[in-house]
A and B are shown apart, each in its own frame.
Chain A
Amino acid sequence: MLPIGFDMAGVLFPLFFIAVVGFMIFAAIRGYKAAQRRQAAIAALVAANGWRLVSEDPTRAELFASPPFGTGDSRRARSIIWGTIGDRPFETFAYSYETHTTDSKGHRSTTTHHFQVTWVPLTGPLATMRFTSDNAFLRAATKLGARDLNVESHEFNQRWKVWCEDERAGHGVLTPRMIERFLQPDLGGRGVVIEGPCLMTYTQGQSDLTDLSQTVGLLHEIADLIPPFLFEPGNDAPAGGSATR
């Protein structure tokens, strides 16, 4: 039996407040420790392979024009690593940007979107091409008239939405063997972009880079499947994307 005049809300609210603050502190410490572990793992990986590491480079946050770049604000590129795997060059970095929403009461909330971006150089510049795993939003956009490059494989058309700056060049890139490669399960959940002289892939979230050699390997596999004639001069390929390197 509670005494008369006992203020239940007056007791519970501070307790709830303390619990929330405590949870936030716990989450922050946990996140900090996870980030430290990730940094240590990356540093060890870089040292073991003789690669180079830069903690942050603002120019890398504007390296490409294709999504996930060029959207949101507070764009950052961190843990930039470059080197070679099997004598073939690559670069990878953690990319993030922020988006903001305001609810009906005027409260502004910020979401940070994290990606792991990896790219390899191509023999020369090509027309920009973006391969995005099919999802409900893209399907709706296509139905509303958004362009999507369709090929002779129904399975490919179902699984990938392809945007291409130059459709003729796009059909040049999408050889039957390239289509077959894109149907392999290791490309699931990835976005792939050809922009200027770069072939880039990105995945959502922060990575500890345990799958880096696999990622670089698949990028080089794709690069090797691009028919050489597309890199020849006078083949209508633009002089590169808007990325500055």
Chain B
Amino acid sequence: MEWILGIALVFIVIAGVWAIGAYNGLVKLRNLVQEAWHQIDTELQRRHDLIPNLVETVKGYAKHERETLEAVTAARTAAVAPGSSPAEQAQQENILTQALGKLFALAEAYPDLKANTNFLQLQTELTNTEDRVAAGRRFYNANVRDLNTRIETFPTSIIANMFKFVKAEYFETEDPAARQAPNVQF
């Protein structure tokens, strides 16, 4: 009888140690996902901060392109609105990316604007920031993938359900690095 109790005790201890490990692993991953999201948020903030300067610079050369400039401003305002989920934020960022694409396309028609140092600098900074956002997105999504896989796979799913761990949302934006860089001569 005693040996049965002994085996049961060993089993309970092993199961307890495993459960603690699984729980801590999930907490660690959840924190990593949150930290990665904050990093993206910082990079997005950096991106949003560059846009007013860009719009002002373009306005100086292309005043009558009001519609495009207003679209960029409106997309930026929507993107900086707080409290968005990753999926909502991604949608806003994609709209902003499209609006910025139109802004850079119209710059083609203004040689003075294309030669403006401030404009070129802002364009470079924006490209760099987009690369940072893309890198942050890949890191965030990799952590989301790890967390969601742990939540869904057995036996960690038992602990995840018990302690109400929920799957994280992916952040799916257009990756600028995926696009072939256009060969534009300024």
Contacts and interface: CB of A to CB of B under 8 A. Distances in A.
**Is the pairing of A and B real?**
yes
A208 interface: no
Query: Which bucket holds chain B's interface residue count?
Result: 10 to 19
A137 B38 CA distance: 37
B145 interface: yes
Interface in A137-181: 149-152, 167-168, 171-172, 174-177
A174 B128 contact: no
A176 B178 contact: yes
Interface string A188-231: 00000000000000000000000000000000000000011110
B142 A151 contact: yes
A187 B161 CA distance: 43
A232 B128 CA distance: 10
Nearest to A174: B138
The interface centre, meaning the residue of A149, A171, A174 with most chain B CB atoms within 10 A of its CB, is A171
Contacts, number: 46
Interface residues of A, number: 17
Given A176-B178, A177-B178, A227 B131 contact: yes
Contacts of A175: 131, 134-135, 175, 177-178
Contacts of A167: 139, 142
B139 A228 contact: no
B177 A171 contact: no
A176 to B, nearest CB: 4
Nearest to A227: B131
A203 B181 CA distance: 32
B128 A176 contact: no
Interface string A39-57: 0000000000000000000
A221 to B, nearest CB: 14
19 contacts: A149-B142, A151-B142, A152-B138, A167-B139, A168-B39, A168-B135, A168-B139, A171-B138, A172-B138, A174-B138, A175-B134, A177-B177, A227-B135, A227-B177, A228-B128, A229-B128, A229-B131, A229-B132, A230-B135
Given A172-B132, A177-B177, 9 more contacts: A149-B142, A150-B142, A167-B139, A167-B142, A172-B138, A176-B175, A227-B131, A227-B177, A228-B128
Interface of A: 149-152, 167-168, 171-172, 174-177, 227-230, 232
